[in-house]
Amino acid sequence: MMALTFYWYPKCGTCRKAKKWLEEHNISFEAIHISENPPTQKELEELYKKSGLELKKFFNTSGQKYRELGMKDRIKTASEDELLALLASDGMLIKRPILTDHDKVTVGFNEEMYEKTWL
């Protein structure tokens, strides 16, 4: 199995929990700092399509940036392209961690979901 790509923000507690879980289960991954190296719009589109989730699930709704940009209202009317461009413009807008093997994608961390998806 190829190494997983793990988009994370080191100061984020949820991300640290997810990283610890991966290490405890000896799962190899490449960690990418989401605000220093956010995924491109094309990468985000791929992640979104493979995840089977709604695009709004990719937004970090508790983040300051989300509130600053008034995303709660914008998200309702913006097109998919506009939303992907916004996400790509600022890693802090993206819900984290995102874990992918370029086939499957999980967003956020939930132990049960990780066990189902990655073990």
Q: Which CATH superfamily is domain 4-118 in?
A: Glutaredoxin (3.40.30.10)
Of 1-5, 8-12, 20-24, give the lowest mean pLDDT range.
1-5
d(CA 99, CA 91): 15
Distance between CA atoms of 28 and 51, rounded to whole angstroms?
20
Write out pLDDT tens, residues 43-102: 999 999 999 999 999 999 999 999 999 999 999 999 999 999 999 999 999 999 999 999
> Where do the domains of the chain lie?
4-118
pLDDT value at residue 3: 85
pLDDT band at 1; cut points 50, 70, 90: low
Rounded (10°) CA dihedral 45, 46, 51, 56: -10
